[in-house]
Every structure is written in structure tokens, then in C-alpha cells.
Structure 1
Amino acid sequence: MDFECGDAGAWRAALGAYAARVETLAGAAASKRELLPLDSFYRGDLPLLLRRRGPKPFLSKSELLRVVQWKLSRGQWRPRLMGYAEALGEAEVEAASRAALAAIPDLARAVSELTALKGVGPATASAILAAFAPEIAPFMSDEAMMVAMGNKEYTLKHYLAFAEKLQKKAKELSVDGESFTPTDIERALWSSVVGSKALSSSEKDVPKADAKRSSKRKRKP
């Protein structure tokens, strides 16, 4: 997916393939086999839970652990991050997340409130914020960052630039009856990248399979 693409239909198609990409990725490695239920929780259950806790919503420690698991399963697995999250106290997670969600739409302040927690960087913070305010805060995935920004930097400054860029793209595409959020843009980009990788991998496997069949035919008397 070219980030400069202005075809809303192409973006909608990439977004529509998201669930299938998650399913494909979940079957690709043992470290990702929990991705399906985690993604269902993250996209379906968590936003509802947070909104029901108004007017001062917060994230529980168990929910934070599932968000971190989701993030790692969807991207690169980093066991050390789970260790940091598991060591956090329930009260500090609730306090930091309550302050962060109350800071929306001030993304700089919201991210800073969450990154005060040990082991929670801008990417994990963005995952929490995206679940609560998808119309403002996109998740800072490696795949979307590379397409939108051309590089990966896990800093607040880079996240704010990334979020602004996805907000503008969502607004640009939300015409003629279409409606996109920055989170939609991130998921479309992620879906496109994961789909391209899967296609590339399958194409590499075809010659190997053909070579094996050819070798078997040659050995016949």
C-alpha cells in the first residue's frame, strides 16, 4: 500500500482484509497462536470496557497485560516487555491509565502519563490510547510506521508526527460517504504489509515444491 494513494476503495479493501491477515499470522508461528483471541479482545471487548468506566475510565493491570501480549503477538515478540508489565502494580497501572485517558485529545500528555510506567514505551502507550480513542490515536505499529514515515523511532516526537500524518490521511479519505479513522489507516497499512509478506513467502515456496516434483520424476526408471 502506497501511503500517498488517494483511492478510498483500495484503503477500504486493505482494511477489509485485516481479519484474514490476523488469522494468517496467528498460524505462522507458535509465538503468535494467541493472536486471534487477543485481537478479538483488543478490538471488540476492550473499547467497550473502557467506555463503560466513564467518566474516569482506566485500564486494569490484567488488561494491560493482554494489550502487551496483543502488541507482541501482532508484531515482534519481546519477552522482556511482558516481564516489565507483570511487575507493575495494579494501583499504578490504574492511576497512570486514568490520567492518560483523561488527557485525550492531548496525545503528548496522554503518552507521557503512560510511559511513566516502567516498560511502557510510546508504542504500548499508543495501543492503549487507540483502543479508547481510535478517531485520534493510531497504534504505533512497525509496519505502519515504515510505510507512513519511512523509518521506525520509538519516541514521543516520532509518534506525534506519525499520528498527525495518519489523522490527515483519514481526513483526506473521508469523503463521498467514506469514513476513516487514524486507526483504520494503521490497520489498513498493517494488513497490506502482512499480506505482501505472506504472498512473497508463498511465491518462494512454489519453486521449491516444483523442484521436488521434478526431481522425483527424474528418478523414475
Structure 2
Amino acid sequence: MVSASLPSPDTISDSEFREYLERYPACVAEISEAKGAKPGQQTLARLDEYRYGTALDTFGPASPDAVMGLDDVKTLVEWKLRHGKFRPTLMKLVSSNDPDTVRNTIQEAIAHYRNKADVSGTIDMLAKLKGIGPATASLLLAVHDPDNVAFFADEAFYWLCCGGVKAPIKYNAKEYADLNARARKLAQRLGVRAVDVERVAFVLMRQPEGDADKTVRKPSEESRVPSAKEAPAQKPPAKIDTGSKQEKRKASGDGPAAGSAVRRSKRGKQQA
């Protein structure tokens, strides 16, 4: 069951999808401005330009001979930490990798992927690096093949696999296989890229509640406001006797609190 405020991945139309995709830059810019950046730290907006611009140009299908190094991995991990859930020890673990080991491991893994189109096997190879679990491994692979591989982002998992509900995530290979399969199915249905599915999911899960209905989805027949001709005639309100103070009653504006926080399970490991 999909959250009532979100379109389903199975039924979202091409026009709806593209409208959400167009909102991604503004969504990230707003979050980037709210988060800010410490001295010497890049903003989320700048890191996002690297993730979806420079990195794809440098390591994507158009540049099959480019080899990703440790500094590139660190920049992508920094983007991941500022774009999603922050893990305080992840960058330290990733930085502790030997630069030559990083280059050789990634080069072998990507060669394996391009020869066999084996997503699962490639994720396992990349996850041999320190601090690189299935989620970060999927990010490295998604940069090399943005058309067919989606990043294991929380927002993508919530929308594609949990019906828009923020359920606990184990960040294991099985969950990622499910996420990537669903992302590819949607991408093929609409003729879009896996990287686009990833960004649309981010907008859907990060937008203020109710924005989906206000900006994209059309009102249903039941919720449509009738025109003046269609609206039934209404009787004038009855006069209220205000003669006696004892008969006056105070109106109360109190109501039940709206919304509730969703509990998330904490992972003991910082690797993701």
C-alpha cells in the first residue's frame, strides 16, 4: 500500500514523473541552504553538482577508460553523508583505504560489471573496501552506469519498496537487489534513467507533506469543489439568541495532534 499523499511507482505517469524530476534542483538547493557548510566544507549543492554532473561525465559510459581513485570516492561519500543520513565514522573508514587498493578494486569490479552485467557480484567486489557496504558500493556503481543502476538511497527504498513509508532499512544485498529491480522496472516503463528514478524518489520523500497533491496530482471527482450552478441552494443561517449570557458557549480550537514520528532501527555498523 502506497502512502495516500504519494503517487505509486507502478502507476505514476510520465508527466507526473518529469514534473517531480524538474523540482529536484530546487529541492536540493533549499536543503543545501538550510544545512549550510562549515569552513572548508563544500555545500550540498556543490557536492550534488559533482555527483550528478562531473562524476557522471568522468566515469560514466562515455569514459570507459577512466579509473576512480580514493579522492573521488571520498567526494562521493561526502555527498552521500550530506545528501542522506550522516554516519560520523564512515569517512574515516573510507579514508583509511590504500589509494592503490581503491583504484585496483574499483577497476576490477567495473570491468567485471561491464563484461557480465552482474550487479550483485560487482557490489560484493566493491564492498571489500573498508567502509564500503552495499549502499556506498551501489553509489560507486551507479556513477559508472546511471542508466541502469540506482543508488541505494533511503528515499528510493522508502518509495519503491515500502510504499512511501519510512520503514527500517537493513542495508543488505537482498534489499538493494529489490530496490534496483523496481527502479529498473519503472525506468523501462517510462523510458527514463535509473538515476532519474533516484532523484524523483528524493523529491517525493523530502518535500513538505501534501505538496504532491498541490502541485502535480489532479483532484479526484469526489474532492472537486462544485461550481456555483452545481452547488445546492443553502438556507440562511438561523438567528442566534444572545439575550442570555448563561446560554453562550465558548468555541474550542483544540484538536488531535497531527502526525507522529516514525521509529527507525539503529545500525550497529557504520558501514553502509
Query: Deviations for 1:182-215, whole angstroms, at most 9, x for unmatched residues?
Result: 221111111121123596xxxxxxxxxxxxxxxx
**8 A contact 1:58–1:101 mirrored in 2:** no
Change in Cα spacing, 1:20 to 1:99, as seen in structure 2 (3 Å) is same
- 1:29 Cα shift? 2.1
Q: 2:89 matched to which residue of 1? A: 80
Q: 2:101 matched to which residue of 1? A: 92
Q: Which has the larger radius of gyration?
A: 2
CA distance in 1, matches of 2:202, 2:49: 16
- 1:11 Cα shift? 0.7
Which among 166, 169, 172 is matched to residue 186 of structure 2? Answer: 169
Structural mapping, 1:96-115, within 5 Å: 96-104=105-113, 105-115=117-127
Q: 2:147 matched to which residue of 1? A: 135
Q: 1:203 matched to which residue of 2? A: none
CA distance in 1, matches of 2:180, 2:136: 14
Give 5+ residue unaligned stretches, structure 1: 175-179, 200-221
Structural mapping, 1:118-197, within 5 Å: 118-150=130-162, 151=167, 152-174=169-191, 180-196=192-208
Say which structure is richer in helix.
1
Q: Which secondary structure does the structure 2 equivalent of 1:27 belong to?
A: helix
CA distance in 1, matches of 2:189, 2:59: 28
Identity of aligned residues (%): 26
Q: 2:17 matched to which residue of 1? A: 11
**8 A contact 1:31–1:73 mirrored in 2:** no
Q: Which secondary structure does the structure 2 equivalent of 1:11 belong to?
A: helix
CA distance in 2, matches of 1:153, 1:16: 30
Change in Cα spacing, 1:92 to 1:198, as seen in structure 2 (3 Å) is farther
Amino acid at match of 1:10: E
| Two-structure CA RMSD over aligned residues (Å) | 2.1
**TM-score, with structure 1 as normaliser:** 0.81
Amino acid at match of 1:155: N
CA distance in 2, matches of 1:86, 1:198: 40
- 1:78 Cα shift? 1.0
**8 A contact 2:97–2:130 mirrored in 1:** yes
- 1:103 Cα shift? 2.2
Change in Cα spacing, 1:27 to 1:92, as seen in structure 2 (3 Å) is same
Q: 1:71 matched to which residue of 2? A: 80
